Amino acid sequence: MSAALSSELARLVEVARLARERAYAPYSGFRVGAAIETPSGAVYSGANIENASYGATICAERSAVACMIAAGEKAIARVAVYTEGPTLSMPCGICRQVLGEFGPGATVVAAGPSGARSLPFGELMPEPFRFAPPGASS
C-alpha cells in the first residue's frame, strides 16, 4: 500500500467507488468502478457491464474511456479503479492497452476498502503495443 492519497486522487477514488455501485455484474458478482480525470480537470466515470456471452463484457475502465471520448476529450491524467475484493485490482491487460493509448503518462490508482496503491502508468505497463503506419517516422 502507498502512503495516503492526495486530495485529488482521493476524490477520484470516491467517484470510482460510486460508479462501482452502478455496475452490472450478475454473472461474476465482481463489480468495478473507474474514474478518469483529464488534463482539463473533467472527470468521467464508468462501471463494468457484464454480458452472458462474456466476450461482450465491458470493463469499468473502458466504459469510462468511452464516456471521455464521447465528451470530446482524448487525454487521461489520472485514473482510479475501485473494487471490493480481498486484494486491490489493477486494470486488466486490455484496459491497460486502452489506457495507454490516451494516458501513457497517467497516474493509476487501485483502491478498495483495504486501502489504495498508486503508480505511474509506465510501471503498470512498461512496453505497450504501439502502431506506426507504414511510412511514419519513428
> What are the catalytic residues?
61
Nearest to 44 by CA among 67, 74, 28, 25: 67
Burial class from Cβ neighbours inside 10 Å (0-12, 13-18, 19+) for residue 64 reads buried
Q: What whole-number distance in Å separates Cα of residue 117 and Cα of residue 91?
A: 12
